[in-house]
Amino acid sequence: MDFIISLKEIVKIYGKGESKVVALNKVSLDICKGDYISVMGPSGSGKSTLLNIIGCMDTPTTGQYILKGRDVSKLKRRDFSQIRNKDVSFVFQSFALLNNYSVYHNVELPLCHRRMSRSQKKEIIMHYLDKLGIANLANKRPTEISGGQQQRVAIARALASDADIILADEPTGSLDQKTGQEIMELLTNINSEGKTIVIVTHDKNVASYCRRNILIVDGRIVEDNISDNISKNCSESNVSL
Amino acid sequence: MYILRALVHSMSRKKVSLLLVWLQFSLIFFIAFSLVCSCINLFKNENEKRRYIKADFDKCCQMIINTVNTSKEICMDGADFLSEVKSMDEVSVLGNYFYYSTAFTSLRDNKAFVEAVEKAVDEEIRNLTKSGLRVDEGSYQDNKKDLIAQILSVDYELFDSLLPNTFLEGGMPDGSFSESDSFKPVILGYGYKDAFDIGDTFISDDEKFKCRVVGILDKGSKWFSENYGLSYDMVNIDNSIIVLTDRPDTYIGTTIEGTVLANNYLISKEPFDRELEAKIGEVAKKYGISVGIYTFNEFFANTRENFIEQYYLTLFSILFLSVIAVFGLSSLIVYGINISKREIGIRMACGAETKHIMGIFCSEIFIIIILAFFTSCIMANSERLINFLMISMKDINIWVYAAVLAISLVVCIVSCIFPIRRIAKLEPRELTGGQ
């Protein structure tokens, strides 16, 4: 099996008693390395919860989550931090940049806790800023640049960690159509370089960039359209509907 | 920057002011200075007593000590009074000690002796100046010319009882001590160690002190101060020549009105009771003297109790202040965390571990603590403020600084641990508001 992510019977319940909410209900999903996946669904369907669990930002109530062959459900908090630092990175709708820090320092965040020299860090940061065409903004603060540029900074930060998996939660949600397209093209390029990307979105146009589209309703996966060879060839893609 | 931002925030919201927070911690450390000073001094005094008071004063060591203030005339019969008291069946003499200053001009050729005397005089000038007294430099220069050295005359039995016998470089005093030798055995303070060898003899100008060296004291040796016999203050006797006598002179008479019977230690065979006190009182009356009678042991017992009480009170105060500081800092951190939840969440989403978040807050608190510490250092060293607050802060030495700094660090760590551990246990999702 060559799945980079494998979710088995994942259940996530918030609250207790009468206020109990089942966000994910026995979701099973396998994702191959290099997949480009969109997760769609109405509000409250459990898309973001799924993304949070994949990104180790949240833990499932029951079920098994295997990331790169490791059973994440058995890991400790400290290992979760390391996964978020090295294996998975995020791009948020509202960019999640630290407004008190410069663009450069925002991109540096995932590298802060790694043992590498300042010059090495600088090399990595400037490489990605350059790649995303925002090297000239390195010393500016997020509040001084446009939304599209801020999202590029967020993507640069995600790339700087050199994680194999990039999780994007409504990456174009706060952007105009044109800028949104630019960002999606950027993510498509990144995917073509071998990164696995999972995007949560409401927007069908955004989903159209992806090669695999998952529809989630009431915490269950109800549709999984695979239109590329990666998932098909990865192995026998096993998706529970 | 979290904490500083919290402070700035709080200032703008007028909840607390930066100045007040700063002042709070500066004051806490300032008080910590005085408490640590007292604590160390108390501990030191306690240790010194244990080290030097070797005599068995368990039941019956008594003391006639005080100034006879009520005497209208200078009493010339004090020696007789004391002699009569000493001759009582119930009383035996433990010993006396007195300080003299005597010239040794005949020792001008002894270079080491001259240097030691000059050094002693210079040191005395320095001490007097330091304690704020006016110093007649001219007369001290004369002291140097005349080679006036300080003599501490101590009854051998008293010396032997109060000091351990390990003080002599040359071992125990030899048997010649009790010989009817015209030379009195002397033990040299450490300052005179190069001037003579054991067995050497020398004589003072007035020929009152014909000395034969029997030993040399260790460096930093101390003896009771010359301010009345009961004083537990110890003074350095590195620059003194200690003359051991088996028949000590009685120090009677002063130039001021009244007579001083100082430094006469009497030991009674029975516990000092009212009957003996009355008996001594009668003798004193006969000679026109009124005396204060103190029980040596009781005095030290009371002092020790006071010390212990003071010691624990001081420790408790330090603990109490530290707890207040922990609460103050914790609330500051909680506020800092509350306005920085999103940032902490983003950092954790990027892989920061609990220890990293802890490190950020600890380092910021550390900066505040260190700044407050230095402010308190300035305050603690400000004489005017100390006088104003009437808090004694003598002897602020490296250990006091180290102790206060150690307390600061403990406060820093303890105040960070709980709020940060609590916040770090939350999921990043909760901190970023579901982003």
The predicted complex's ipTM stands at: 0.80
Mean per-residue pLDDT for B5-23? 53
Question: pLDDT tens for residues B378-401?
Answer: 766 665 555 555 445 556 678 878
Q: Does A113 touch chain B (CB under 8 A)?
A: yes
CB-count burial class (<10 Å; 0-12, 13-18, 19+) for B248: buried
- Report how far residue B353's alpha carbon sits from residue B373's, in angstroms, rounded to the nearest whole number: 30
Q: Does A109 touch chain B (CB under 8 A)?
A: yes
- How many beta-carbon pairs under 8 angstroms link A with B? 63
Nearest to B347 among A89, A94, A109 (CB): A109
Q: Does B124 touch chain A (CB under 8 A)?
A: no
Task: Report which DSSP code applies to A91.
Answer: E
CB atoms B350 and A161 under 8 Å: yes
pTM (predicted TM-score)? 0.52
Q: Does A59 touch chain B (CB under 8 A)?
A: yes
Cβ–Cβ under 8 Å, residues B429 and A14: no
- Report how far residue A98's alpha carbon sits from residue A101's, in angstroms, rounded to the nearest whole number: 6
Q: Does A58 touch chain B (CB under 8 A)?
A: yes
By residue count, chain B amounts to: 435
Nearest CA among A179, A168, A197 for reference residue A5:
A197
Nearest CA distance, A150 vs chain B (angstrom)? 15
Q: Does B343 touch chain A (CB under 8 A)?
A: yes
C-alpha dist (Å) from residue A33 to A16, A36, A48, A54, A166: 36, 9, 21, 14, 11
Task: Report which DSSP code applies to B59.
Answer: S
Please report residues of B whose CB lies closer than 8 A to that of A112: 347, 350, 352, 356
SS3 (DSSP) at B185: strand
Q: What is the DSSP pairing of strand B210-216 with strand A212-217? A: unpaired
- Report how far residue B332's alpha carbon sits from residue B46's, in angstroms, rounded to the nearest whole number: 40
Nearest CA distance, B349 vs chain A (angstrom)? 6
Q: What pLDDT band is residue B6 in, cutting at 50, 70 and 90?
A: low
- Give me the long-range contacts of B117-122 (CB less than 8 A, separation at least 24): B117/B143, B117/B144, B117/B147, B117/B148, B117/B149, B118/B144, B119/B191, B119/B239, B120/B149, B120/B150, B120/B191, B120/B239, B121/B148
Q: Does B434 touch chain A (CB under 8 A)?
A: yes
Higher pLDDT, A12 or B343: A12
Nearest to B346 among A55, A85, A96 (CB): A96
Nearest to A84 among B342, B349, B432 (CB): B349
Residue B381: phi, psi to the nearest 5? -90, 0
Helices in chain A by DSSP H: which ranges? 47-54, 77-86, 103-108, 118-131, 147-160, 177-192, 204-208, 229-234
Quick one: CA dihedral B153, B159, B162, B164, positive or negative? positive
Q: Is the pLDDT of residue B51 over 80?
A: no
Nearest CA among B133, B137, B149 for reference residue B100:
B149
Cβ–Cβ under 8 Å, residues A93 and A169: yes
Chain A: residue whose CA lies nearest to B433: A96
pLDDT tens by residue, chain A, 241 residues: 468 899 999 999 988 877 888 889 889 999 988 899 999 988 888 888 898 899 888 888 999 999 988 888 778 777 888 888 888 988 887 888 888 889 999 999 888 878 888 899 999 999 888 888 888 888 898 888 888 888 889 888 888 888 889 998 888 877 788 888 888 888 898 888 888 999 998 888 888 889 899 999 988 999 888 765 555 556 444 443 3
pLDDT at A38: 92
C-alpha dist (Å) from residue B345 to A90, A96, A198, B11, B350: 12, 9, 21, 25, 9
CA atoms within 13 A on the CB side of A3: 20
- Report how far residue B42's alpha carbon sits from residue B34's, in angstroms, rounded to the nearest whole number: 12
Mean per-residue pLDDT for B146-166? 72
Task: Report which DSSP code applies to B250.
Answer: P
Cβ–Cβ under 8 Å, residues B189 and B83: no
Quick one: CA dihedral B270, B271, B272, B276, positive or negative? negative
Q: Does B341 touch chain A (CB under 8 A)?
A: no
Mean per-residue pLDDT for B111-132? 85
Cβ–Cβ under 8 Å, residues B254 and B226: no
In percent, how much of chain B has pLDDT > 90? 3
Question: Which A residues in the span 163-182 are in contact with B, Cβ-Cβ below 8 Å?
Answer: 169
- Report how far residue A172's alpha carbon sits from residue A176's, in angstroms, rounded to the nearest whole number: 8
Question: pLDDT tens for residues B269-317?
Answer: 666 677 877 888 888 777 776 666 665 555 455 555 666 666 677 777 7
Mean per-residue pLDDT for B320-336? 75
CB atoms A58 and B354 under 8 Å: no
Cβ–Cβ under 8 Å, residues A226 and A237: yes
Sorted by sequence, the CB contacts under 8 Å of residue A205 that are 6+ apart come out as A180, A181, A184
C-alpha dist (Å) from residue B383 to A79, B42, B64, B379, B386: 55, 22, 39, 8, 5
- Report how far residue A137's alpha carbon sits from residue A128's, in angstroms, rounded to the nearest whole number: 12
CB atoms B435 and A58 under 8 Å: no
Question: Which B residues in the span 399-428 are in contact with A, Cβ-Cβ below 8 Å?
Answer: 427-428
SS3 (DSSP) at B319: helix
Chain A: residue whose CA lies nearest to B429: A57
C-alpha dist (Å) from residue B220 to B48, B52, B182: 12, 13, 30
Nearest CA distance, B376 vs chain A (angstrom)? 32
Higher pLDDT, A215 or B170: A215
